Structure 1
Amino acid sequence: MKLDTSNIIGIIPARYHSTRLEGKPLMKINGKPMIQHVYERANEVLTNLLVATDDQRIADCVKSFNGNCVITSKNHATGTNRCLEAFQKWNNSNCSIIINIQGDEPLLNTQHIYDIISCFEDSKTTIATLALKVKKNTLLKEGCVYLTKDINDFALYFSRFPIPFLRDVSKENWTNHHAYLQHIGIYGFKKKSLINFSNAENSSLENAEKLEQLRWLEKGEKIKVATTEFFSQPVDTKEDLKIVRDYFNKKEN
């Protein structure tokens, strides 16, 4: 049974010319294009849902499975800016919360969306995101995005290096001595915050880590963090695509 999400819209930014895996939204997984898997999972929770793309091939694909789609500029530097343009073009004035759902997450868990929505029960939340609780005995990988948060579940910092650094502990044992959090790239925005975030200039920390959420923290603003134990495998490379395809094959068998 769906929650009443009439004031919430989910937007899935999807571009064709990905640097590491061109055309990935259209790549087939278990007989369906990746973007359809993401859309159908999100649609289990959200009534208002659309894809934001700069490519007609993706738009045609979305229309083929009766999804909603908005064509956006090819010049956006980030998915968040693409979401803002799509939201403004869609012009659903009833929606006060916008959820940015990555188009390369075919294993999206519906609980991820519920967790983001729950963050807005705190009136101080203007932007929310999600973090995976890393299990003990896990070897942390550089390149994945990690975060730390305060006692009120607001983010302190995001980094492509595992944080915090544990002095006097060998790296392979870090997860046995600290509860690490790995970032999952789904965001929720209040309408005004989406506009302000997208219009803000890039910050020095954002440019250093190549993580747009640091723009908000460096401005002194807050990002609420929900935590989950449900992993989602993003598809950035051919190796990632194989992992996801293997997962669906095992599920079918």
Structure 2
Amino acid sequence: MKIIAVIPARYASTRFPAKLMQDLGGKTVITRTYEAAVKTNLFDDVFVVTDSKLIYDEIISIGGKAIRSIKEHESGSDRIAEAVENLDVDIVVNVQGDEPFINKEPLAAVLEVFRNDTKQEIDLASLMREIKDWEIIENPNNVKVIVDQNGLALYFSRAVIPYPREKNAGVRYFQHIGIYAFRKKALLDFYKLPMKSLEASEKLEQLRYLEYGKKIKMVETTHVGIGIDTPEDLEKARKMI
């Protein structure tokens, strides 16, 4: 089973333009992320896929592997699918370009899903963590997920799911952590299938997989990623470095 990591890297981020090329302890954010992914030793190969010549040249200059996007894309999955379409690979892991402090353990747990899936029934694997703070649960920026008894995702939403009509039902709430591992076929299917109403309404690309009947296995973790979305996040990251 050949496993690769792909880091989608847009230059023109809405909230923090050019954040991936910012200095983080003497190296750019994207270089830190790329090197961290390589150092996990979980992948047969690691690629950065980008629409930016600056980012492409940056990765090539450190001896890394980069792919230029040919088309404009609405989502990271689309960008990755275009990049891997002609690569000989079984499992593709989406590593966020703005998370330079990669934790190996949850990535390994996600990959273990496919090693245990002898019948190849799982299309995607991803992470979730339990949340108990109602401010986090009610925040639409925090995507929630509900699963069945086998840990397969039933639905993702920005809304509170399930709705707590009965406060003493013993429900656990889970936040989706946006690390994905895909079977290549599932990723290419996503690339070719049109967006449906649930994805359009919630603006959550994982709903396209569910709407077309793909199986997403969720793995519980206590890991919380450290992303760089704002200049303030970058200052915190510099202190950590």
CA contact (8 A) 2:98 2:229 kept: yes
CA contact (8 A) 2:2 2:44 kept: no
CA contact (8 A) 2:47 2:66 kept: yes
What SS does the aligned partner of 1:230 have?
coil
Q: CA deviation digits over 1:31-71, x for unaligned, max 9?
A: 22111222122112223110000100001111222210000
1:225 has 2:218 as partner: yes
CA contact (8 A) 2:113 2:217 kept: yes
Match of 2:147 in 1: 149
User: CA, structure 1 residues 168+245, in 2 after alignment: closer, same or farther (shift >3 Å)?
Assistant: farther
d(CA) in 2 for partners of 1:12, 1:182: 22
Match of 2:4 in 1: 9
Match of 1:55 in 2: 52
Structure 1 runs not aligned, ≥5 long: 1-5
d(CA) in 1 for partners of 2:195, 2:69: 21
Moved more, 141-150 or 235-244: 235-244
Q: TM-score, normalised by structure 2?
A: 0.89
d(CA) in 1 for partners of 2:26, 2:159: 36
Match of 2:184 in 1: 191
Match of 2:75 in 1: 78
What SS does the aligned partner of 1:115 have?
helix
What SS does the aligned partner of 1:236 have?
coil
How far is 1:168 from its partner? Answer: 5.7
CA contact (8 A) 1:206 1:215 kept: yes
Q: TM-score, normalised by structure 1?
A: 0.85
Match of 1:40 in 2: 35
How far is 1:85 from its partner? Answer: 1.5
1:27 has 2:36 as partner: no
RMSD between superposed Cα atoms in Å: 2.1
Q: CA deviation digits over 1:185-205, x for unaligned, max 9?
A: 111111111110111100101
Q: CA deviation digits over 1:182-237, x for unaligned, max 9?
A: 11111111111111011110010101111011011112322111121111022222
CA contact (8 A) 1:143 1:160 kept: yes
Task: Write the letter of the residue equivalent to 2:111.
Answer: I
1:133 has 2:126 as partner: no
Structure 2 runs not aligned, ≥5 long: none
Match of 1:182 among 175, 179, 185: 175
Match of 1:167 in 2: 165
Identity over aligned residues, as a percent?
39
How far is 1:180 from its partner? Answer: 2.0
d(CA) in 2 for partners of 1:199, 1:92: 17
CA contact (8 A) 2:6 2:46 kept: yes
